[in-house]
Amino acid sequence: MEKRILENLNTAILFFNSDLLLTYVNPAAEMLFELSSKKMLQMTAKDIFHCPGEVIDVTLIKSLESGQPFIEREMSLPLPDKRIIKVDCSVTPLNEPNIETNILVELRAIDRQIRISHEEQLISQHHATRALIRGMAHEIKNPLGGIRGAAQLLEEELNSDDLKEYTQVITREADRLKTLLNRMLGPNKLPKQQSINIHQVLERVRMLVKAEMPKNILFHRDYDPSLPDTQADEDLLIQAVLNIVRNAAQAIGQKGNITLKTRIQRQFTLANHKYKLISKIEIINDGPKIPDYILKNIFYPMISGRAEGTGLGLSISQSIINQHDGLIECLSEDNKTTFIILLPLKENHD
Ligand SMILES: Nc1ncnc2c1ncn2[C@@H]1O[C@H](COP(=O)(O)OP(=O)(O)OP(=O)(O)O)[C@@H](O)[C@H]1O
Ligand SMILES: [Mg+2]
């Protein structure tokens, strides 16, 4: 019973023995540090908390020696992925007769609340943009059909081939515009709900991009094998991930690395919905940093840094991920661009 409570807490719980060796870690803590309990259980407090000045380390020793609990509010905690988050940290020594003293460490991320509101803002912004684009594309498509039809009628009335060339330009350009608008409108079918394996999606994309790009791209896979199957539309997800991986391949030039990474996140809130499990898919490449003016609006249609790009790839990916109740984000720094897809894992009976 106690174990079940610990396993389902949102607060990260760590238990250390008197040598400051970790003896228990709950799933919330595994998630926070992005390390499995198996890996963490061989670590000392010092290995886990890379705090400047070893604040937690010292606090633990102080607490152990004095038998007194400590609470540190809004402490900066560097994570293994170099992010620094703010946490409220409590350290409680557990003195029980005849048992070696243990130390209980509780970490509550306070950034999480800020992050949730940021995600909600992103999602509603994505929805608003999509609605605007769809409305516009739809409104352009109708008169375009009229223009094309009229050009064809006119062509039938013309006797001179020279003049027909002009009407053919109109038809051809109208067709080109229609294809573009259709891409802007995005997938026009509702996603199918089939049981799919995310790793299979990533593998398909990896093979496709490998075949397309004869360059020296090294793919690395860092998959979480415990990721369960989910209900989603496989073709649409392939399309969403393909657009991102293609961009990554185009960005790294002649030689570089693309990493496909998956992780499970437990008890995660996305767009006001609390999900038991979500999958975090990361596509990381080591190309140049995306310039800020592109990064700011990267998921908007028509935003492109490539001469031959239409700037639609990512806006399509985004609308597919949104259709699956997920979220997509981009982080870019020198030599490391990461696209993160957060996708709720839906069980069969959902
Ligand atoms: N991994 C990446 N590294 C660097 N820049 C990127 C990366 N992914 C996207 N970009 C930038 O974002 C822009 C928008 O990408 P998006 O896929 O939406 O359009 P595109 O690739 O230009 O055109 P399309 O995909 O429609 O052919 C790209 O043109 C590129 O400048
Ligand atoms: Mg693209």
Same domain, yes or no: 221 and 332: yes
Q: Could you tell me if residue 350 is inside a domain?
A: no
Q: 113, 46, 111: which is closest to 84 by C-alpha? A: 111
The answer to whether position 272 is within a domain reads yes
| 188 CA from centroid of ligand 1 (Å) | 22
- What whole-number distance in Å separates Cα of residue 11 and Cα of residue 223? 26
Last residue of a domain, one of 58, 87, 109: 109
Instruction: Give residue 51's pLDDT band: very low, low, confident or very high (50, 70, 90).
Output: low
What is the distance in A from the centroid of ligand 1 to the CA of 319? Answer: 15
Structural domain including 13 reads 2-109
Q: Which of 109, 138, 161 is the last residue of a domain?
A: 109
State the distance from the centre of ligand 2 to the C-alpha of 217, rounded, in angstroms: 17
Number of the ligand 1 atom closest to the C-alpha atom of 285? 1
- Is the domain of 247 the same as that of 305? yes
- Quote the tokens at residue 24: 């228990």
Ligand that comes closest to the CA of residue 286: 1
Q: Is residue 166 pLDDT above 60, yes or no?
A: yes
Q: Do 327 and 200 fall into the same domain?
A: yes
Same domain, 173 and 221: no
313 lines ligand 1 (CB under 6 A): yes
Best of 293, 306, 339 for a ligand 1 pocket test (most atoms within 8 Å of beta carbon): 306
C-beta of 303 in contact with ligand 1 (< 6 A): yes
Whether 294 is in the pocket of ligand 1, judged by its Cβ within 6 Å, is: yes
Give distance in angstroms: CA of 283 to centre of ligand 1. 13
**Ligand 1 pocket, residue 290 CB under 6 Å:** yes
Tens-digit pLDDT profile for residues 39-49? 888 788 888 87
SS3 310: coil
On the question of pLDDT at 195 being above 80, the answer is yes
Domain check: are 165 and 263 in the same one?
Answer: no
Tell me, yes or no, whether 12 lies in a domain.
yes
Question: Lowest-pLDDT range, 101-115, 128-142, 211-225, 284-298?
Answer: 101-115
List the residue whose alpha carbon is closest to atom 14 of ligand 1: 304
Q: Is residue 92 part of a domain?
A: yes
Nearest residue CA, atom 10 of ligand 1?
Answer: 247
Q: Are residues 293 and 313 in the same domain?
A: yes
User: Is the C-beta atom of 337 inside 6 A of ligand 1?
Assistant: yes
**How many C-beta atoms surround the C-beta of residue 57 within 10 A?**
17
Strand 273-285 with 255-270, pairing: antiparallel
Res. 130: pLDDT tops 80:
no
Judged against a pLDDT cut of 50, whether residue 59 lies above it is answered with: yes
* Mean pLDDT score, 60-82: 80
Q: Which residues contact 120 (CB under 8 A, 6 or more apart)?
A: 271, 272
Beta carbon of 180 within 6 Å of any ligand 1 atom: no
How many separate domains does the chain show? Answer: 3
Instruction: Say if residue 350's pLDDT is above 60.
Output: no
CATH label of the domain that carries residue 253: 3.30.565.10
Same-domain status, 20 and 157: no
232 part of a folded domain: yes
Tell me the CA–centroid distance for residue 252 and ligand 2, in Å. Answer: 13
- Residue 304 Cβ inside 6 Å of ligand 1? The answer reads yes
Residue of 303, 304, 340 to mutate, ligand 1, most atoms within 8 A of C-beta: 304
Confidence of residue 201 (pLDDT cuts 50, 70, 90): very high
- Collapsed DSSP state (helix, strand, coil) of residue 139: helix
Q: At 55, is the pLDDT very low, low, confident or very high (cuts 50, 70, 90)?
A: low
At what angle are helices 198-212 and 234-251 packed, to 10 degrees? 40
**Alpha-carbon torsion 123, 128, 131, 137, what sign?**
negative
Q: Is 291 inside a domain boundary?
A: yes
Query: Is there a single domain that holds both residue 166 and residue 143?
Result: yes
* Same-domain check for residues 98 and 123: no
Domain final residue pick, 155, 185, 215: 185
Q: What percent of the chain has pLDDT over 90?
A: 39
Identify the CATH number of the domain in which residue 103 sits.
Answer: 3.30.450.20
Q: Are residues 129 and 79 in the same domain?
A: no
- Per-residue pLDDT of 287-302, as tens digits, reads 899 999 899 888 887 7
Are residues 212 and 147 located together in one domain of the fold? no
Q: Are 337 and 290 in contact (CB under 8 A)?
A: yes
| Mean predicted lDDT score pLDDT of the chain | 86
Of the candidate ranges 55-69, 94-108, 187-201, 333-347, the one whose mean pLDDT is the lowest: 55-69
* Shared domain check, 281 and 247: yes
264 assigned to some structural domain: yes
Condensed to tens digits (0 to 9), the pLDDT of residues 229-255 reads: 999 999 999 999 999 999 999 998 778
Q: Is 128 exposed, middle or buried (0-12, 13-18, 19+ CB in 10 A)?
A: exposed
Residues, Cβ < 5 Å to ion ligand 2: 247, 313
Residues 150, 158 contacting (CB under 8 angstroms): no
Measured from the Cα of 294, ligand 1's closest atom is: 12
Average pLDDT over residues 319-348: 90
- pLDDT (tens digit, 9 = 90+) per residue, 4-30? 888 888 889 999 888 888 999 998 888
Indicate which residue's Cα is closest to atom 25 of ligand 1.
Answer: 313
Is the CB of 240 within 6 Å of ligand 1? no
The pair of structure tokens assigned to 126 is 């994505």
**Residue 291: strand, helix, or coil:** coil
pLDDT score of 348: 58
Judge whether 349 lies within some domain.
Answer: no
